[in-house]
Amino acid sequence: MATTSDLSRGAFVRIDGELGQVMEWEHITPNKAPAFYHVKLRNIRTGKLIQTRFKSGASIDLERVELRELQYLYREGEALVCMDNENYEQTPIDATLFGEALVFIKEGMMVSAGFDSNETVVFAEAPHVVELEVTYTEPGIRGDTATNTLKPATLETGAEIKVPLFIDNGQKIKVDTRTFSYMERVK
């Protein structure tokens, strides 16, 4: 079993049955009290931050998580079937693991998935930046670039975001899947 001295940024720790990734940790040694570790974790399932303390030298449940790049093939019910390009093994991943970024994923895209020691998918995420085509948006007014006014646009995956007035139907744009915002046109 691992101890608190094995903590590092990015490590996965299981607390009360929930898996969390260490974001920050600090070893604190007060004057007359025993030393402890103050740890900030991100809950893998919910995304919420958890702050906790461990006694120095206490046993912790470190989890080995292997990160793999998979190619999204198709949707089957509530799962996305993804393929490992090295061994061509197909893995169904629960769509809820992708969170709200699921609306930006299209077939053929590479996604990241974390597997625990039992080969179970514990988390998945879409690429941080995707290139998608605008399928519908209202026409912009030529020359109206003095303000940073945005208009709604529907993308090829069905997602709706706000884009600048100069974006037209059929153009490809880059979208940040973490903030759901327009980044730039694809040249």
| CATH value at residue 14 | 2.30.30.30
**Over the stretch 22-35, which tens digit does the pLDDT of each residue have?**
999 999 999 888 99
Cβ burial of 28 (10 Å; 0-12, 13-18, 19+) is exposed
Q: What's the confidence (pLDDT) of residue 146?
A: 63
Domain shared by 115 and 156, yes or no: no
Q: What's the confidence (pLDDT) of residue 16?
A: 86
Last residue of one domain, picked from the residues 125, 153, 173: 125
- Number of domains comprising the chain: 3
**Model's pTM, two decimal places?**
0.76
CATH number for 154: 2.40.50.140
Q: Which residues of the chain, if any, have pLDDT below 50?
A: none
Which residue segment(s) compose the domain that 33 sits in? 2-63
**Over the stretch 163-178, which tens digit does the pLDDT of each residue have?**
988 888 999 999 999 8
Per DSSP, 45 falls in state: T
Q: What's the confidence (pLDDT) of residue 149?
A: 82
Residues 6+ apart with CB under 8 A from 31: none
Domain shared by 109 and 133, yes or no: no
Secondary element (H or E) of residue 43: strand 36-43
Q: What's the confidence (pLDDT) of residue 144?
A: 61
Domain shared by 138 and 174, yes or no: yes
